[in-house]
A and B are shown apart, each in its own frame.
Chain A
Amino acid sequence: MKLSSHIARQGRRFTDWAVLACQRPARPAVLAIVAAGLALLAAGLYRPASSEPTAPPPGVIALVNGEPILMSDFMSEIEIQYTVPFDQTTPAQRAAMLHYMIDNELLVQRSVALDLPEQDTETRTVLRDSLTALITAPVLAERPSDADLKAYFDAHRANYANMGSMTLIDLVLHVGGFENADQSVDQAQADAVEAAYQLRSGAGIEEIKQHFGFVDSGSVTGEEPDFAAKLRLGPKLYAVASQLSDGGISQPVVVNDTVHLLIMQHRRQPVYNDYNSVRNNVYSDYVEEKKKEAMASYVRFLRSSAKVILAPGQHE
């Protein structure tokens, strides 16, 4: 047993040595195979980096200072220009179009180099409008329901009315002014209540002005359309005036340190249109508002990541 196991051990040793003897001279060849394998692997995975190109990449008809002119754009332009399918255009036509497109690209590149987006108003407008179109495109795909439009109409009734107008006198008492130096707001209001009472009882306007110290503000002269009257009177007085009918006299209205009495001479009320007669406008306005909302949201997003530095003392 001992002898046989010794022989077996010796035999294995011999085999190991024989294998190693065979492998040893092959080691450089193994390394070469590994290198070749890895090189091929790398070559298979390799994609050339964007170094200086010597020819346009596939699908690009020309590179102008590295900027591509797409074959698709070229074909589209030439078909539009010559109104024939691309295959039917002549070499001369293609050459002319390519020349034109390269010129165009050069001019665009120059305009960017000159920073026209910063300096030229029209360029800025076009850029802004293009981005707006891009941002609002998905909004247009969402068609509103009838209920959406009706709700919008109900919330914006005033936008769908024929404009009313008003002719009125705005009598104003300047509290603590030259004529009423010692008067408080309460006293002025009490005077205005009395003046309104006397006016309703038939007193003349000139008489009231002289007795209480009112002056005509002159803010509304002659017949004014509602929007103009609103601008001149301000929202608070306009809200009161728009409720008065012909010959109506308002209660005193305090605005800052003035007390007003409004005397409506002639009021033409606005006529509100019904939904069906203005559906087209409602639809357009609704879509426009949705577009504005989308843009406002987008600008908020831009602002959230923007760094804006204002000059000292400036605020938005």
Chain B
Amino acid sequence: MMSSKVLIVGGITLVIILALGWRYYEIGAHRAIMERRLMETPPSQVQSHADLIRFATAQAKPLFAENCAACHGADLKGNTAIGAPDLIDGSWLYGSRVDQIERTILYGVRSGLSKSRDVTEMPADGQRGRLTSGQISDVIQYLLKLGNRPHDELAAIAGKSVYNGTGECFDCHSGDGKGDSENGVPDLTGGSWLYGGSPAEMYKSIYFGRHGTMPAWQGRLTLEQIRALAVFIHTASRQ
């Protein structure tokens, strides 16, 4: 014979099970629907769907914290010590569109996969003996000038000729120093510097070269998770 206590506890348990079941069902169903919508909406149009952005952001935040924040920082501002780009400064190396960000996450940067972003690479012009210390210093003065920062005018003039001559810097960074924001060539005229914009760091970049890498996340994260991250990063960069 059941006591009234058992009946009450049993009743409450049943209600909890029912509520949990309903909640899980609702969350699961809602999530599946939203994931499908997120994937089916053309990447270029996601920004016009506030509910998709909210959903992607909610999905991506814990993913970012777990997988991306170690390099790019929890605040998405990157890490100049390792050349991890600031993701919210509006400066892009491999395109700013959702589909371009998604592709960078999918295949990485110089990850060894042929689909990864690896068109360009900063050579070790000093270490390889292509440029002397003096030439590098002159180029730095020219870069400071391009960025409207205090500089030595005479050295900057000499640096410009190295930039457009022996150093062949113009070949990737273009004559005006604005680089190529879709092929991994940084803009040298803005305030965004992968490794910090101090003359000492500039010297290191030119002398030792740079070879930043990012792993490919295909296979480690689902396509839906990668899309959510791309939307999240794209949205954050616009705020």
Interface positions of A (Cβ within 8 A of B): 15-16, 19-20, 23, 30, 33-34, 36-46, 57-60, 70-73, 75-76, 85-87, 130, 133-138, 140-141, 143-144, 146, 149, 276-277, 279-280, 283
Given contacts A41-B24, A143-B208, contact A135 B112 (CB under 8 A): yes
Please state if A141 and B212 are interface contacts (CB–CB under 8 Å). yes
Partner of B22, one of A40, A58, A72, A130: A40
Closest 6 pairs (CB-CB, A-B): A44-B24, A58-B39, A40-B21, A137-B112, A59-B223, A134-B112
**B19's closest neighbor in chain A, by CB?**
A37
Tell me if B200 is interfacial: C-beta within 8 Å of chain A: no
User: How far apart sit A57 and B129, CA to CA, in the bound complex (Å)?
Assistant: 52
User: How far apart sit A141 and B83, CA to CA, in the bound complex (Å)?
Assistant: 11
Please state if B27 and A20 are interface contacts (CB–CB under 8 Å). no
Please state if A40 and B18 are interface contacts (CB–CB under 8 Å). yes
Please state if A138 and B224 are interface contacts (CB–CB under 8 Å). no
Interface positions of B (Cβ within 8 A of A): 1-4, 7, 10-11, 14, 17-29, 35-36, 38-40, 42-44, 97, 99, 102-103, 106, 110-115, 124, 127-130, 208-213, 223-224, 227
Query: CB-CB < 8 A to B42: which residues of A?
Result: 87
Please state if A72 and B102 are interface contacts (CB–CB under 8 Å). yes
Please state if B20 and A37 are interface contacts (CB–CB under 8 Å). yes
Please state if A58 and B224 are interface contacts (CB–CB under 8 Å). yes
Query: CB-CB < 8 A to B23: which residues of A?
Result: 44
User: How far apart sit A136 and B113, CA to CA, in the bound complex (Å)?
Assistant: 11
Query: CB-CB < 8 A to A71: which residues of B?
Result: 39
In the assembled complex, how far is the CB of residue A68 from the closest CB belonging to chain B, in whole angstroms?
A: 9
Partner of B25, one of A40, A87, A133: A40
**B216's closest neighbor in chain A, by CB?**
A134
In the assembled complex, how far is the CB of residue A28 from the closest CB belonging to chain B, in whole angstroms?
A: 13
Query: CB-CB < 8 A to A15: which residues of B?
Result: 4
Partner of A34, one of B2, B14, B111, B208: B14
Please state if A20 and B114 are interface contacts (CB–CB under 8 Å). no
Please state if B112 and A133 are interface contacts (CB–CB under 8 Å). yes
User: How far apart sit A293 and B208, CA to CA, in the bound complex (Å)?
Assistant: 22
**A138's closest neighbor in chain B, by CB?**
B213
**B8's closest neighbor in chain A, by CB?**
A19
In the assembled complex, how far is the CB of residue B40 from the closest CB belonging to chain A, in whole angstroms?
A: 6
Please state if A44 and B29 are interface contacts (CB–CB under 8 Å). yes
Please state if A133 and B114 are interface contacts (CB–CB under 8 Å). yes
Query: CB-CB < 8 A to B28: which residues of A?
Result: 43-46
User: How far apart sit A313 and B19, CA to CA, in the bound complex (Å)?
Assistant: 72
Most interface-central of B36, B38, B40, B211 (chain A CB within 10 A): B211
User: Can you list 28 contacts pairing A with B, beta carbon distance less than 8 Å?
Assistant: A15-B4, A16-B3, A19-B4, A30-B14, A33-B18, A37-B19, A40-B24, A41-B20, A43-B21, A44-B21, A44-B25, A45-B28, A58-B35, A59-B223, A59-B227, A73-B115, A76-B115, A87-B44, A130-B114, A133-B113, A134-B111, A137-B213, A140-B211, A140-B213, A143-B209, A276-B129, A283-B124, A283-B127
Query: CB-CB < 8 A to B223: which residues of A?
Result: 57-60, 70
Most interface-central of A72, A134, A279 (chain B CB within 10 A): A72
Please state if A38 and B21 are interface contacts (CB–CB under 8 Å). yes
In the assembled complex, how far is the CB of residue A133 from the closest CB belonging to chain B, in whole angstroms?
A: 5
In the assembled complex, how far is the CB of residue B219 from the closest CB belonging to chain A, in whole angstroms?
A: 12
**B32's closest neighbor in chain A, by CB?**
A47
Partner of A23, one of B7, B21, B115, B211: B7
